[in-house]
Structure 1
Amino acid sequence: MQKLNLNQILSQKLSPQQIQFIKLLQVPTAELDSRIEEELEINPALEEGKDGDAENQQDEFPDNTDVADSKDDKDVNIDDYLNEEYGGYKMQGDGNYSSDEEERDMPIGSHSSLHEQLLSQLNFLKLNEAQRLIGTQLIGSIENDGYIRRDLEAIINDLAFSLNVETDLDEVEEILFKIQTFDPPGIAARNLQECLIIQLERRNATEEPLLRMAIFIVQECFEEFTKKHYDKILKKAGIEEEELKEVIHLITRLNPKPGGISDGLSRNHYVIPDFILNNANGKFEIILNSKNAPELKVSRSYSDMFNAYDKSDKKDKKLKETVSFVKQKLDSAKWFIDAIKQRQQTLMRTMQCILDYQHDFFLDGDETKLRPMILKDIAERIDMDISTVSRVANSKAIQTEFGVFPLKYFFSEGIATDGGEDVSNREVKSVLNKMVDEEDKKKPLSDDKLVKLLNQKGYNIARRTVAKYREQLQIPVARLRKEL
């Protein structure tokens, strides 16, 4: 038997305006222009320009559109790559690389013309139409770091279903090997071992004895090489330690990420800061980047149209629909403008609070002066929800005289000291990094030894925490830091 029950439930729902504000808040600066252009296209009641009734409302936002350079990748070496692939870190191109919460840069990648260069080189090969399509498909499968990680069988299936090209593994591999002769050397390799071998085989013949040994080690002792088991390599290769040093030096001069650098030019990465911090003898001024403060207004013609329709005869059905449409567009334009203004205010309030909290750091950029700070600390001070602060911190950056920093850089947990004080885990990481830099590379410090040294300096820290910080700093385990 069915029954009708009446229940009273207290629930909280976000209004359309609130949803729009939340979405705009998390949009990065680089994408805000596109989002505004999109809104201008779909809403004729929204226009660019100053509102006549609030002519000076945005004079506080000057035009600061400087783009700051972040760190270049030109100092790439084989150790860095081995640390990523074999020291517990995933390779960049697999789409699942570790998102390092402590990284200073928030790169907005500028796309190189690597694929165009490869396609240009493909045109010089004497290929029939089907082979050219196979080559194009292979080049399209090359990831940003220069590797092809897709299974060749999957590429064969793509060719059959998408381009109606029937082929087999032998033909695809034949064309792949031709692409692997292109510049930059090492391109289109399927793994690091193949990438190194391709580059070694293209080296100068004057290094021939050394080259032969380097190729032998990469082909036959690759696992021992990646794990730095030098004793095993010496025994297997039948060489002296001095010769092994020369071979390793040769291998470490190769480029483990051929897609990252082309034509001898390193790819640039850029950060568009949301804030610019000026320091005038200890007096700080925060300026909001003008890209975050666009000038928008409600269309005067649409407002006049609505007023005219609203005063006319309401009995006409078509007129009613027109009035409803115009009102909807006007409301939408007002909501969007309000959401942009609210975004600006929230950004400024959050940044000002972070500046006050980390005042000592902003004076001279000394990382050890960062105070422990979590999202809750800022949220309570500005009386906002933690999720709001999180959205600001995760996608915004500030330009200072010491460089460009993502806001999430200033957030860190506290570590207790023997003196009973809390210090930022960034200070501990800085000390840890210095210890590893100064260690004897023939006998690198284990995590247990690092814990003891940190405890001696007054930092109460567990071994698992040291291991976590070491991984975040992209420092491999002691075994992989060993050098001859």
Structure 2
Amino acid sequence: MQRLDMKQLLQQKLSPQQIQFIKLLQIPTAELEARIKEELEVNPALEEGDDQDEEFEEQDRDDEDFDNDPDAEFDSDNSTLDEDFDEPRDEQPEVELPVAEVPEPEERQQDNDDLDLSDYLNDDEIAGYKMQGDGPGEDEDDREMPLADTSGSLIDSLLDQLGFASLDEKQEAIGRQLIGSIDGDGYIRRDLSAIANDLAFSQNLETSVPEIEAVLRVIQSFDPAGIGARDLQECLLLQLERRHQDDPDVEHAERIITDTFEEFTKKHYSRIQQRLDLEDDELKDAIALILKLNPKPGGTGPVGMGKVQYIIPDFILTNDNGQLNLTLNARNAPELRVSPAYTEMFQAYDKASKKDAKMKEAVTFVKQKLDSAKWFIDAIRQRQNTLLRTMDSIVRYQHDFFLEGDESKLRPMILKDIAQEIGMDISTVSRVANSKAVQTEFGIYPLKYFFSEGIATDSGEDASSREVKHILKEIIEGESKSRPLSDDKLEKMLNARGYNIARRTVAKYREQLNIPVARLRKEL
């Protein structure tokens, strides 16, 4: 038996302009430039420049029309002059932040037969960005912004070296397959039998594991040293093979990697010295040589796979005799405007006596582009306003740190503190903090660097976890490397300084600082 039930639900949905604002807010400055260029390409109604340029262009066009019409000044009925004085020219208003609220898309949807041109003839109101038809698709978040690569990749370099090797056609095919199997750090982690199966299925090339291993040895002789290794032990040995074999340190290092690699990874130096019968100086020199080798040959060098991304600060903070001045990076404040040509199209349509279907179709297209341009400009300005409000609040909260750059002056601060001060949601502050950076006189810092939890002290005040990490790092740097401090000892030392912290918290902070355990910090 079927039943009809009525339920009343309350749902909260983001409008298209809110979604667009969120996407623009979370991207860094470098990607913002690419996003603006993309929008300029797909929307002809959006142009670079400010509103003042448009005012000068309109004035020049009016002066030119007046000069080209010598009878206008002596018109018998003075209609031209009367219109000029009775109807002053509209001026482009200066848009102030924060921007006025944007009407919902449902309110702006109209039938083609009832187009209201007054919204477009009057530039007093700039709406938000409408994501209909001409904007990026839903898969925009899944796309990655391409990075410029001025140098050749590692794969290209290896293929070039393969071309100079004396290999036959079959061996070259095996070599290309092996090079294609190299990971980003320079290792081949696939089993050679699996590579043989790939050659059989994809290229119909029957081969054996010994044949593949012979070609692999050739590739392992290419630059950079250690490329094509199947594990760390082989990678280090490949690099030691290119050293002078007459050097005793190289000989001792090869013995350590070959015979006592497990002890070496665990830094059991006493066992290594006992098994290989090495003197203290010999062991120390050999270990120093091994530590200079590159464990990831594919991720460094001019032909490495790793791409370097330079941090472009979103904010610039200067100290003028104790007065902190915060400015937004000029790249975050592009000069954009709506094309005046598209506004003139609407003026021409409004004055046209005959409005056929083609004209209505054309004006609908222009309407869509104008909506997109105005809403994009509004989203950019809202982004600027949100960035400045958030960073200004952070500067006030961490004022002492920005004056001196001393990490011990950092106050405990969480996202909720800033969100409550600026009257925004925590998710908005999180989007700003996770992808933005500020340039100070002490260096460039990501905004998330200034957010930290509080640790109770003996004085009853809260200390920033960043401050505790800074002190923990100083203690570890000053420890005896022959007898490094355990987490228990570090806990007692921090407690003696007045920080009420547990051992597991010490271990967590040590891991966040990328500091290994005491056993792995031991040195000869």
TM-score by length of 1: 0.83
Equivalent runs, 1:405-424 vs 2, <5 Å = 405-424=445-464
Distance 2:361 2:169 in 1: 57
Other-structure match for 1:173? 213
SS of the residue 1:270 aligns to: coil
SS of the residue 1:450 aligns to: helix
Aligned amino acid, residue 345 of structure 1: N
Give 1:252's match in structure 2, choosing from 270, 284, 291: 291
Equivalent runs, 1:47-66 vs 2, <5 Å = 47-51=47-51, 52=54
Distance 2:236 2:167 in 1: 27
Other-structure match for 1:18? 18
Give 1:392's match in structure 2, choosing from 424, 432, 447: 432
SS of the residue 1:271 aligns to: coil
Distance 2:10 2:168 in 1: 70
Other-structure match for 1:30? 30
Contact 1:109 1:270 in 2 (8 A): no
Distance 2:492 2:439 in 1: 38
* Displacement after TM superposition at 1:120 (Å): 2.6
Other-structure match for 2:324? 284
Distance 1:35 1:183 in 2: 38
Aligned residues: 434
Aligned amino acid, residue 412 of structure 2: P
Other-structure match for 1:220? 259
Aligned amino acid, residue 28 of structure 1: P
Other-structure match for 1:308? 348
* Displacement after TM superposition at 1:259 (Å): 2.9
* Displacement after TM superposition at 1:205 (Å): 2.8
C-alpha change, 1:279 and 1:139, in structure 2 (3 Å) is farther
SS of the residue 1:276 aligns to: strand
Distance 1:412 1:109 in 2: 34
Contact 1:186 1:198 in 2 (8 A): yes
Other-structure match for 2:83? none
Other-structure match for 1:458? 498
Give 2:419's match in structure 1, choosing from 357, 375, 379: 379
Distance 1:135 1:152 in 2: 12
Aligned amino acid, residue 290 of structure 1: A
- C-alpha offsets along residues 86-135 of structure 1, whole Å, 9 cap, x if unaligned? xxxxxxxxxxxxxxxxxxxxxx9977535233333222112344533443
Distance 2:520 2:92 in 1: 62
Give 1:367's match in structure 2, choosing from 407, 420, 434: 407
Distance 1:154 1:293 in 2: 53
Q: Specify every segment of 5 or more residues in structure 2 that has no aligned partner in the other structure, as ranges.
A: 55-90, 97-146
Distance 2:362 2:198 in 1: 50
Given the alignment of the two structures, is residue 2 of structure 1 paired with residue 2 of structure 2, yes or no? yes
* Displacement after TM superposition at 1:142 (Å): 3.5
Contact 1:397 1:406 in 2 (8 A): yes
- C-alpha offsets along residues 399-421 of structure 1, whole Å, 9 cap, x if unaligned? 11111111111111110001110
Other-structure match for 1:81? none
* Displacement after TM superposition at 1:137 (Å): 4.0
The structure with the largest alpha-carbon Rg is 2
Distance 2:468 2:351 in 1: 70
Contact 1:436 1:445 in 2 (8 A): yes
Give 1:337's match in structure 2, choosing from 377, 380, 387: 377
Aligned CA RMSD, in angstroms, stands at 2.7
Given the alignment of the two structures, is residue 184 of structure 1 paired with residue 219 of structure 2, yes or no? no
C-alpha change, 1:161 and 1:300, in structure 2 (3 Å) is farther
More relative contact order, 1 or 2 (CA 8 Å, 6+ apart)? 1
Given the alignment of the two structures, is residue 481 of structure 1 paired with residue 486 of structure 2, yes or no? no
Aligned amino acid, residue 497 of structure 2: K
* Displacement after TM superposition at 1:312 (Å): 5.0
Aligned amino acid, residue 213 of structure 2: E
Other-structure match for 1:92? none
C-alpha change, 1:260 and 1:435, in structure 2 (3 Å) is same
C-alpha change, 1:50 and 1:229, in structure 2 (3 Å) is same
- C-alpha offsets along residues 418-461 of structure 1, whole Å, 9 cap, x if unaligned? 11100111111111111111112221111011101110110000
Contact 1:310 1:323 in 2 (8 A): no
Contact 1:314 1:320 in 2 (8 A): no
Contact 2:151 2:303 in 1 (8 A): no
Distance 1:313 1:9 in 2: 49
Distance 2:165 2:205 in 1: 19
Which has the higher mean CA deviation after the structures are superposed, 245-254 or 428-437?
A: 245-254
SS of the residue 2:246 aligns to: helix
Contact 1:110 1:270 in 2 (8 A): no
Equivalent runs, 1:120-131 vs 2, <5 Å = 120-131=160-171
Distance 1:234 1:114 in 2: 41
Other-structure match for 1:78? none
* Displacement after TM superposition at 1:168 (Å): 4.2
Give 2:272's match in structure 1, choosing from 209, 212, 233: 233
Distance 2:400 2:245 in 1: 57
Distance 1:328 1:262 in 2: 49
Aligned amino acid, residue 383 of structure 2: R
Give 1:136's match in structure 2, choosing from 162, 176, 183: 176
* Displacement after TM superposition at 1:464 (Å): 0.8
Contact 1:147 1:189 in 2 (8 A): yes
Distance 1:26 1:157 in 2: 45
C-alpha change, 1:264 and 1:246, in structure 2 (3 Å) is farther
Distance 1:453 1:350 in 2: 37
C-alpha change, 1:139 and 1:411, in structure 2 (3 Å) is same
Aligned amino acid, residue 326 of structure 1: V
SS of the residue 1:170 aligns to: helix
Distance 1:151 1:434 in 2: 44
Q: Specify every segment of 5 or more residues in structure 1 that has no aligned partner in the other structure, as ranges.
A: 59-107
Contact 2:260 2:272 in 1 (8 A): yes
Other-structure match for 2:467? 427
Contact 1:277 1:400 in 2 (8 A): yes
Distance 2:350 2:204 in 1: 60
Distance 1:337 1:166 in 2: 60
Which has the higher mean CA deviation after the structures are superposed, 110-119 or 216-225?
A: 110-119
C-alpha change, 1:456 and 1:30, in structure 2 (3 Å) is same
Aligned amino acid, residue 5 of structure 1: D
Which has the higher mean CA deviation after the structures are superposed, 172-181 or 352-361?
A: 172-181
Distance 1:193 1:241 in 2: 23
- C-alpha offsets along residues 296-354 of structure 1, whole Å, 9 cap, x if unaligned? 11122222223433565797444433332221121111111110111111111111111
Aligned amino acid, residue 41 of structure 2: E
- Matched-pair identity in %: 65
* Displacement after TM superposition at 1:288 (Å): 1.2
